[in-house]
Amino acid sequence: MTEFVKAIETKSISLELANKVLDAALVKGKEMGIPFSIAIVDRTGNLKAFAAMDGAPVLSLDIAQNKAFSAAAYNRATHEWYDRLKDDPPLLHGIVHTPRLVIFGGGYPIKLDGELIGGIGVSGGHYTHDMQVCEAGLEVLQEITQG
């Protein structure tokens, strides 16, 4: 007999952890000297913490949030999309039109002990720059897990 599942338990990033990740990303951003927008979302893609560095381009505000949303909402780093799309024309010409879905680098799922708890998204430089800022933020997770 199958059990009646009444509720699903999920974990989502706390504001305290979100701010640690955000702060680590900001340190990297300042070091790189590019004005980035940095967004942390919870497991469901809703905004948890955000900072726009002084001078961040207006367009970066939404792109950062959409990258974080994309990463959490699909549990996939945004730079992993293109390899899966490039030889699949219906997806390449279709799924890229999904509102808020970003398919270039700068968005990563945030995981705790292998479990999705949120997302980080960065915009303001080329996506290779944005990815470095995300990775600096995510180092906080590695320190926590190892600590």
CB of 23 to a copy of itself, least distance (A): 9
Q: Residue 112's closest CA among 80, 144, 137? A: 144
- Tokens 């992993």 locate to 80
For residue 123, count other CB atoms closer than 10 A to its CB.
29
C-beta of residue 31 within 8 angstroms of C-beta of residue 132: no
DSSP 58-111: HHHHHHHHHHHHHHHHHTS-GGGHHHHHTT-HHHHHHGGGSTT---SSSEEEEE
Asked if 32 touches a copy of itself (CB under 8 A), the answer is no
Using the rule CB under 8 A, is 114 a contact of a copy of itself? no
Of the candidates 33, 89, 114, 146, which one interacts with a copy of itself according to CB under 8 A?
A: 89
Binding mask 64-83 for a copy of itself (x = CB under 8 A): ------x-xxxx---x-xx-
Say how far apart CA 22 and CA 97 lie, in whole Å: 29
4 in contact with a copy of itself (CB under 8 A): yes
What's the min distance (Å) between Cβ of 57 and a copy of itself?
A: 5
- Minimum gap (Å) between residue 92 Cβ and a copy of itself: 6
Please tell me the distance from the alpha carbon of residue 115 to that of residue 99, in angstroms, as a whole number: 25
Q: Name the residues that contact a copy of itself, by CB under 8 A.
A: 4-19, 42, 44-55, 57-59, 61-63, 70, 72-75, 79, 81-82, 85-86, 89-105, 112, 117, 127, 144
